[in-house]
């Protein structure tokens, strides 16, 4: 995330993420799944503006989102208050650009940005590690956003090991109008008897071999999501027809993406996909890693 201060306002830019590799290793006693995933942050941002106030209030540009206590932004803010015993409040404005229920961690990145933004606004002086520990209490993806641009995440996703990206990676995100329920996708996943190891994928990433990365990308959740909504398989096939380095679903969906060989290649893929947007209900986003 990026955080700046303008007079009385603290402004945070919260990036989306995509999963280039996601294996489900098993079910945990706490009800979550044990996973191994490689996540990268991309240049698609929500913006949050914080101003000190007597109480905690939240205003969102998207009327479909709740501004109540169930919103991860307010959950993060209240948890930070409790953990630090701070008595201050804040007026929080969220400008939403990341699609919802899309496998891009829009809620988690907003929560992480809230922790970072309020840490600055309230002058708490907490480290990124301390903020990530607080965030892990309410969302498995939240700690990643304190370790961008790329990381290998294990446990339920909250154990984060930063990874070097030798080159920028370019993507075309295909974001359907519908979201995917994460709990339902995980409920329908078939656990592998022999999980796919990530070593070969990590090696390809370290080499910066985009075509090899594309061939080795993997998401155990994709088949489960496609069984819930067959349009995902159709959209992935459409992307594949544009001949990118590889295609995959991000997280538990609904976004599917093309990994492209360059920024120009991403523009080409998006251009070839444009006619399909007139017949189907999705939008395309061309982006790159942070």
Catalytic residues: 17, 141
The tokens describing 41, both together, are 């942050």
Question: Tokens for 128?
Answer: 């990124």
- Longest Cα pair distance anywhere in the chain, in angstroms? 56
Reference 90, options 15, 11, 166, 24; nearest CA is: 11
Closest CA to 22 of 145, 132, 156, 137: 156
Asked whether the bond before 32 is cis by omega within 30 degrees of 0, the reply is no
φ and ψ of 120, to 5 deg: -75, -45
CA distances from 37 to 139, 154, 252 (A): 15, 7, 12
Owner of token pair 């945990």: 28
Classify each residue of 99-115 as buried b or exposed e, where b means 16 or more C-beta atoms within 10 Å of its C-beta: bebbbbbbbbbbbbbbb
Which residue in this structure is represented by tokens 């339902």? 184
- How big is the chain, counted in residues? 290
Pairing type for strands 33-53 and 9-27 reads antiparallel
């Amino acid at each position: 995330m990026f955080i700046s201060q303008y007079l009385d306002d603290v402004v945070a830019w919260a990036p989306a993420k995509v999963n280039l590799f996601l294996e489900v290793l098993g079910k945990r006693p706490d009800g979550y799944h044990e996973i191994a995933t490689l996540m990268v942050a991309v240049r698609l941002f929500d913006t949050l503006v914080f101003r000190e106030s007597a109480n905690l209030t939240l205003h969102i540009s998207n009327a479909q989102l709740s501004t109540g206590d169930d919103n991860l932004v307010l959950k993060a803010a209240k948890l930070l208050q409790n953990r630090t015993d701070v008595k201050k409040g804040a007026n929080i404005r969220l400008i939403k650009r990341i699609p919802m229920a899309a496998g891009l961690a829009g809620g988690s990145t907003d929560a992480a940005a809230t922790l970072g933004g309020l840490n600055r606004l309230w002058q708490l002086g907490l480290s990124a590690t301390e903020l990530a520990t607080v965030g892990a209490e309410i969302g498995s993806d939240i700690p990643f956003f304190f370790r961008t641009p790329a990381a290998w995440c294990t446990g339920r996703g909250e154990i984060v090991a930063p990874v070097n990206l030798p080159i920028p990676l370019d993507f075309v995100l295909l974001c359907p109008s519908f979201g995917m329920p994460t709990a339902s996708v995980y409920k329908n996943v078939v656990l592998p008897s022999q999980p796919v190891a990530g070593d070969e994928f990590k090696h390809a990433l370290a080499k910066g071999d985009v075509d090899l990365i594309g061939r080795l990308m993997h998401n155990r959740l994709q088949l489960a999501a496609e069984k819930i909504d067959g349009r995902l398989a159709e959209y992935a096939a459409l992307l594949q027809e544009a001949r990118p380095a590889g295609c995959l679903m991000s997280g538990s969906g609904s976004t599917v993406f093309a990994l492209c060989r360059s920024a120009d290649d991403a523009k080409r893929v998006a251009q070839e996909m444009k006619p399909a947007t007139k017949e189907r209900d999705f939008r395309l986003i061309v982006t790159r890693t942070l």
